A and B are shown apart, each in its own frame.
Chain A
Amino acid sequence: MFEISLRYKVDSDSESACSNSEAESDEETDDSDDSPKRGVQRRRLKNQKASRTLKGTPRAPRNTPRSTPNIPSRHDPRPSPASHLEEARSRLHVSAVPESLPCRENEFSDIFGFVESKIVDGTGGCMYISGVPGTGKTATVKEVIRVLEAERDEGNLNAFKFVEVNGMRVTEPRQAYVEILKALTGVKATADHAANMLDNMFTHPAPRSDPVVLLVDELDLLWTRKQDVMYNIFDWPTKQKAKLIVLAVANTMDLPERMMIKRVASRLGLTRMTFQPYTFRQLEQIVASRLKGLKVFDGDAVQLAARKVAAVSGDARRALDICRKATEIAEEKTSDSKMVTMMDINSAVEQMFCSPKIMAIRNLSVQEQMFLRAVVAEFQRAGIEEAQFSKLYDQHQILCRFEGIHSPTMTEVAALCYRLGSIRLLLVEPGHLDLSMRVRLNVSQDDIMYALRPEGSSDL
């Protein structure tokens, strides 16, 4: 009663009176939809001995009115891109996933064949897909589903349902049940209850139910100590009547061997697929395919970006980001030819991959630089890579006297030390240890000497 009154109050507060009536009608239809279904479940639960326990007692699923959260839309429509460079930039954005992914044709046909055959046969199965981030795993799977859905809509394929769960988007592994259940039936329930309902659904399916394709992204996040979530997800497809096809996506190739206990790993089966990192030719092709029909990029420029990325990670996202950054740099140029050249790519790569530590050291204050020198001197004297603060303070005093500048007090040197620690040039212990606090370098000694030498004399 209280809740309802509260809701009314809130609704009358917000000026949307229509949402109120909508929500109510929504609730009503939900209830009428649910009541027979709930009855069926209750009957089923009675048949099952195991679920007669306290946990199994069916609770009425909570039907909160489905509100429609929305980001308010903008006042003016988005302007269309004005120049070639802007057009290129919007095409190069990672979110602009193309209709068909270049360089992933083999993987596409493999997954497509697997899923299609399972749907046609009306059986279940699992597939494990792995590869480092940014190699097009999720995009490929989504494309497969898109093509399959198009086929289904044309009537060439049996009907099926698609459900997606992402390990990163759930707060806790068991919440995955809730997600799946909500996507399948639209009913909200607690995690335990959802697990039971799903279990029922897959072990005793209605005879004419549609096959379900379940995409589990970021599988390693669903790991629990008992691994019950993983076990269930891979166990359902093995049930005789369940028409469930699981596509599990994760980063590491050996995840089943490393993290799963044997009975989970064996249920996962041997259908595996690894996405190799892109080679530079493939990256080049990807960028070229996005820029089809636009003359803004130098051919060599694309190649340079592709080679740089392929040498480090083979991550397509990175290549696209670099190219996008390069268009910005090209735009800033005043010259008339708005082409992205090798120089632009080069500076974009430098900005994205550069190590800022040397710049940071050069911009420190005189005394901070002096302290770093004292650290290096002390390390060279003692021969170990760790020193006590009191020793460093002595070295600092000596260096200051040597350079002929005023030596700061202990309090000030300690403050210096913490400032260097906060930007992680040094690794320091907490301050209550005072003089006996130990200090280590987070950069190499050569870097410090390199950074201080060319400028050191002119600065003093």
Chain B
Amino acid sequence: SVFDPLQEVQQILRRRISQTNCPPSICGYEKERKQLHDLIKRTAVMGESNSLLLIGPRGCGKSMLIQNVLEDVYQEEKIKQDLLLVKLNGLLQSDDRIALREITRQLQLENTVGDKVFGSFAETLQFLLEALKKGDESSKPIVFVLEEFDLFAQHKNQTLLYNLFDISQSAQAPICVIGITCRLDVVELLEKRVKSRFSHRQIYLFNKLTLTQYRRLCFDYLSLPGDFPDKSFAKNWNSNIEVMLDEVAVKDVLERQFSLMNDVRGLLSLLTYPVCNISAAHPTITASDLITSFKLISTDTKSAMLHGVSILELAIIIAMKHLTDIYEGEPFNFEMVYSEYLKFARHRSGMQVYEKAIVMK
């Protein structure tokens, strides 16, 4: 088959934008990254039990950071053999029972139990606690990653959280509990005894990007990597992108998008349309692509809806607007709207006066 650089470009960029691949660069978070790295490493190597909460608004790269750190930690062969990972999500494990079953499965304990995993909830809990209690410093450390942590705090009695934190605070199997959430007030959701067992380590992640960093990030996302097979094409492409990002119109669009949302996801949604628009007939990304994309994102859905209504419907809406103005936001019924509409249609215009039944429709 003939190598088609354009297709390759599309594949790379689309994967980046849909966030299936790792982002090309991590901007900021060096300190937080180091903290997290040290913590997980200490759990893995020293067998120290810990708990931690990762808090930040949506789209600020919490899960990405964890994933990145874990990949980094796993680089060492020794740790890779020793560290077990359990991932739970508050949206999927909506109940302690399901979460427990999932933990058993991910720890691959069901082999030793045979059919016992299908026992009652109480049995599963006892079984798991027994397993964890039997462990001591010499057993493999486990890292629990709880996404949507605030939803776990809504479970009955917070049993799961209590038990996880309790294990991390007593001399049992070494575990590290990492909660990920976007709620700033998540600690207040915890019950007193659960809160006391939580070690109150919190890492806050915020979008600290400045506008120049934002532009830089945009370039990183659109540029081709150094190991792209067709070197001259890649060089050409990158210089093209750089020129495009220097245009005034593009800068303006980026600035407006930045002032709306200063996170990476906002940028990605802006870049989706231009990237998907690449084809043989349209081989480069131009400034007009970005502008169209911004227009697409920022259309007001309601005024777009208003464009599609018939004249009669529009007339009724105008009548309603009159009523709102006159009575200052008081609610009104259909009769009032209809009489207002009649007043307008009979006296002021040559408009056809419709029957009540039609207006009602």
Contacts and interface: CB of A to CB of B under 8 A. Distances in A.
Interface string A11-31: 101101001000000000000
9 contacts: A67-B113, A71-B131, A78-B138, A169-B129, A218-B193, A352-B201, A356-B55, A363-B208, A408-B298
B81 interface: yes
B184 A409 contact: no
A3 B126 CA distance: 22
A67 B57 contact: no
B81 A75 contact: yes
Interface string B203-218: 0101110000000000
A83 B234 CA distance: 50
Contact of A411 (B126, B171, B262, B302): B302
Interface stretch (B4-12, B64-72, B253-261, B345-353): B253-261
B300 interface: yes
B149 interface: no
A383 to B, nearest CB: 18
B359 interface: no
A291 interface: no
A227 interface: no
Contacts of A409: 298-300, 303
A89 B157 contact: no
B172 to A, nearest CB: 8
B259 A367 contact: yes
B184 A423 contact: yes
Nearest to A133: B196
A168 B159 contact: yes
A422 interface: yes
B114 A69 contact: no
A27 to B, nearest CB: 13
A70 B135 contact: yes
B90 interface: no
Determine which residue in A10, A74, A175, A363 has the highest number of CB atoms from chain B within 10 A of its CB, and name it: A74
B173 to A, nearest CB: 5
Contacts of B115: 3, 6-7, 10
Contacts of A365: 207, 258-263
A207 interface: no
A328 B208 CA distance: 25
Contacts of A406: 256, 259
B49 interface: yes
A79 B78 CA distance: 12
A318 B200 contact: yes
B48 A93 contact: yes
A294 interface: no
Nearest to A353: B200
A90 interface: yes
Contacts of A351: 201-202
Interface string A425-448: 100000000000000001000000
Interface stretch (B104-112, B278-286, B335-343): B104-112
B301 to A, nearest CB: 5
Interface in B237-263: 256, 258-263
A171 B121 contact: yes
Contacts of A78: 45-47, 137-138
A266 B202 CA distance: 44
Interface string B120-143: 011001111111101101111110
B57 A408 contact: no
B38 A328 contact: yes
A187 interface: no
Nearest to A218: B193
B125 A95 contact: no
Interface in B169-228: 169-173, 182-185, 192-193, 195-197, 199-202, 204, 206-208
A134 B208 CA distance: 37
B48 to A, nearest CB: 7
Nearest to A418: B58
Q: Lowest 3 CB-CB distances: which A-B pairs, in order? A: A133-B196, A69-B131, A363-B206
Contact of B184 (A6, A328, A360): A360
Contacts of A60: none
B37 to A, nearest CB: 12
Given A95-B49, A410-B300, A356 B204 contact: yes
A172 interface: yes
Given A75-B81, A360-B206, A67 B116 contact: yes
B140 A168 contact: no
A81 B46 contact: yes
A86 B38 contact: no
Contacts of B204: 356, 359-360
B163 interface: yes
Contacts of A69: 109, 112-113, 127-128, 130-131, 134
Given A7-B114, A93-B48, A73 B262 contact: no
A423 B260 contact: no
A77 interface: yes
